[in-house]
Each structure stands twice: as C-alpha cells, then as structure tokens.
C-alpha cells in the first residue's frame, strides 16, 4: 500500500486504531517515501513500538522484531552457522572420501548451512513484500551493536566473510525505538529520520482510548484520561504512559465500571503505577483529592 498524501496516511493509521498527529504522521510518511529508517524516542509506553506493528498490519507486511538487550551480538542479530549440520556434513564427506577438500570446505560455508537472524531475514529476497523491521529499545543494547547496523541502514546490505555481500532488492521499512536511557551514536542517527513522541494531549489520549477500548463508557474514559494526566504532574519515579492508560481502562471495563470512585482507584492503582513508592505517594496525596482536581 502506497500513500500519496500525509492525510491519506493519517486516515489509514486511524482506521487501524493508531491516532497520530500531523507532525508524527509526516515523519512516518517521509520514512516510507524516502525509504529511511525512523528513529523514535520518548518515554516508555507512549506508542513507539505500536507504530511498527500498525505499519505492518495496515500494509499486510510481515513484522520482524528484534528486542534489544545488553550483550546482543552478530550471532543473535544477523547470522550464525549451523555447526551441528556442518559437523554432520563433514563426517559424511569423510565417509565418502571426498578428494577435493577445498570444495568440501566451501560447501559447508554455503547459505544452506546459514541460520538467518532478524537483521538478515529483513533483507531476504524471498519476501513478496518487504517486511517491517522493528529494532525495539536499542538503548538497552551495547553501543557496539549500533556498529552492526550501520551497513544495513545505509546500503541495505550485510557482509558475511565466507559468502560475500547480501543486499536487499527492496529495503524493509525500519522502525527503531529508544527510551533514551542512553544517547544513540551520531553515526546511527545520521542514517535515520528522528521523531520524539511525547505524552499525548488530553484530547488525543481520549481519542486513543476510544479507539483501543471501545467497550469503555465515555464518562469512564474521560475520567481515566483526566486522572492519568493529573498523575503525570506528580513527581513519580515512573509516570504512566499511554499503554498504562489503556491497561487501566481495560481493567476497569472488565470490572463493569462505568465511572471512577475513590475505592475503585485504590483497588486498581497497580494497573497504572508499577512501583510501590509511587503507589504510596499517590495514596499519601489522597486519591479523593486527586479525583476532585479532575472535576469528580
């Protein structure tokens, strides 16, 4: 699916329950049109990962997800050799008495014995449509991992010493997310379009809740969003993101709640706050007083 205008893309995102304002839609539009990786930074839970999922879903493309963590290496992200199969093949060659040792060596380092990891899978020729590659929370990986990405993100190719260079005929759509626990190297940033996703406005977050949790009553949705926005004004260790807003609304709906009450908030704080100190602070602040601030 190709989008000729930003408005067309914005409508398609909304049809798939992703509410994006125009600046974010413009960044996505340019990433698709220019075939540039899109680097999204922002607090956890503001919808960065969901963009990749939505792009894959609405374009009927395969989503390849690489969840980053400390210690990622080539074997985990790009490829590794299937050593077990290689050993079996070597034993077979020895048993058959193959005379050409050089040819036998080349054989066991052929694509047949290659295990493709997410980054190599993303540039394979076999895709009918280029996939969406999600490199999630890159700031959790070591800085050395970013060096693995430079060749891929600039030339859409990967070099394997024993085989040569594998190049994508159609570049994948690449979305990279970061919670900014550390700075991303400039060399990687230069290869990407950048966009910072902030917490949404009250109206936008209400639209998101209505789209994602249609079973919630309008009154409950408004109260939840207003209460979460009030929480974000507090000095909490971890402010609730959009993901927590959606989780809380879903939980309250599962309890058949039609509106917030102090007791209901007390009982379900764990759906939006994930640290005991934060929960204690909110209770110390007084749930009833917070409810009064949001006009309840």
Residue 75 burial class via C-beta count within 10 angstroms: exposed 0-12, middle 13-18, buried 19 and up: exposed
pTM greater than 0.85 (yes/no): yes
- Tell me what pLDDT residue 291 has: 87
Distance separating alpha carbons of residues 23 and 40, to the nearest angstrom: 13
Angle value at C-alpha 16, between 11 and 22, nearest 5 degrees: 40
**Domain 6-74+117-197, what fold?**
Rossmann fold (3.40.50)
User: Can you spell out the DSSP letters for the chain?
Assistant: ---SSHHHHHHHHHHTT----HHHHHHHHHHHHHT--EEEE-STTSSHHHHHHHHHHHTT--EEEEE--TT--HHHHTEEE-HHHHHHHHHHHHHHT-S-HHHHHHHHTSGGGEEE-HHHHTT-TT-SSPPEEEEE-GGGS-HHHHHHHHHHHHHSEEEETTTEEEE-SSPPEEEEEE--SSPPPHHHHHTSEEEEPPPPPHHHHHHHHHHH-TTS-HHHHHHHHHHHHHHTTS--SS---HHHHHHHHHHHHHTT-SS--HHHHHHHGGGT--SHHHHHHHHHH-HHHHHHHTT-
Per-residue pLDDT of the chain (296 residues; tens, 9 = 90+): 688 999 999 999 999 999 999 999 999 999 999 999 999 999 988 999 999 999 999 999 999 999 999 998 888 899 999 999 888 888 887 777 765 666 666 778 888 899 999 999 999 877 888 999 999 999 999 988 898 899 899 899 998 888 889 999 889 999 999 998 999 999 999 999 999 999 999 999 999 999 999 999 999 999 999 999 999 999 999 999 999 999 999 999 999 999 999 999 999 999 999 999 999 998 887 788 888 887 66
Distance separating alpha carbons of residues 103 and 22, to the nearest angstrom: 57
Distance separating alpha carbons of residues 151 and 81, to the nearest angstrom: 21
């Amino acid at each position: 699916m190709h989008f000729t205008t930003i408005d067309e893309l914005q409508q398609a995102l909304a049809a798939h329950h992703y509410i994006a304002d125009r600046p974010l839609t413009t960044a996505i539009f340019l990433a698709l049109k220019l075939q540039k990786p899109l680097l999204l930074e922002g607090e956890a839970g503001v919808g960065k990962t969901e963009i990749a999922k939505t792009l894959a879903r609405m374009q009927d493309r395969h989503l390849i997800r690489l969840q980053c963590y400390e210690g990622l290496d080539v074997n985990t992200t790009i490829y590794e050799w299937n050593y077990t199969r290689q050993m079996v093949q070597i034993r077979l060659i020895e048993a058959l008495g193959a005379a050409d040792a050089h040819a036998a060596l080349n054989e066991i380092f052929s694509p047949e014995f290659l295990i493709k990891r997410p980054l190599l899978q993303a540039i394979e020729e076999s895709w009918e449509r280029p996939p969406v590659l999600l490199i999630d929370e890159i700031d959790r990986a070591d800085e050395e991992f970013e060096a693995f990405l430079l060749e891929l993100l600039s030339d859409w190719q990967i070099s394997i010493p024993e085989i040569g260079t594998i190049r994508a005929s159609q570049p994948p759509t690449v979305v990279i997310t970061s919670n900014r626990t550390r700075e991303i190297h400039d060399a990687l940033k230069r290869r990407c379009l950048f966009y910072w996703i902030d917490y949404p406005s009250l109206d936008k977050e209400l639209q998101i809740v209505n789209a994602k949790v249609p079973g919630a009553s309008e009154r409950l949705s408004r109260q939840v969003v207003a209460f979460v926005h009030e929480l974000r004004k507090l000095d909490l260790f971890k402010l609730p993101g959009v993901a927590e807003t959606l989780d809380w609304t879903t939980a309250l709906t599962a309890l058949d709640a039609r509106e917030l009450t102090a007791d209901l908030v007390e009982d379900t704080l764990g759906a939006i706050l994930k640290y005991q100190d934060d929960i204690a602070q909110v209770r110390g602040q007084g749930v009833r007083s917070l409810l009064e601030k949001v006009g309840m």
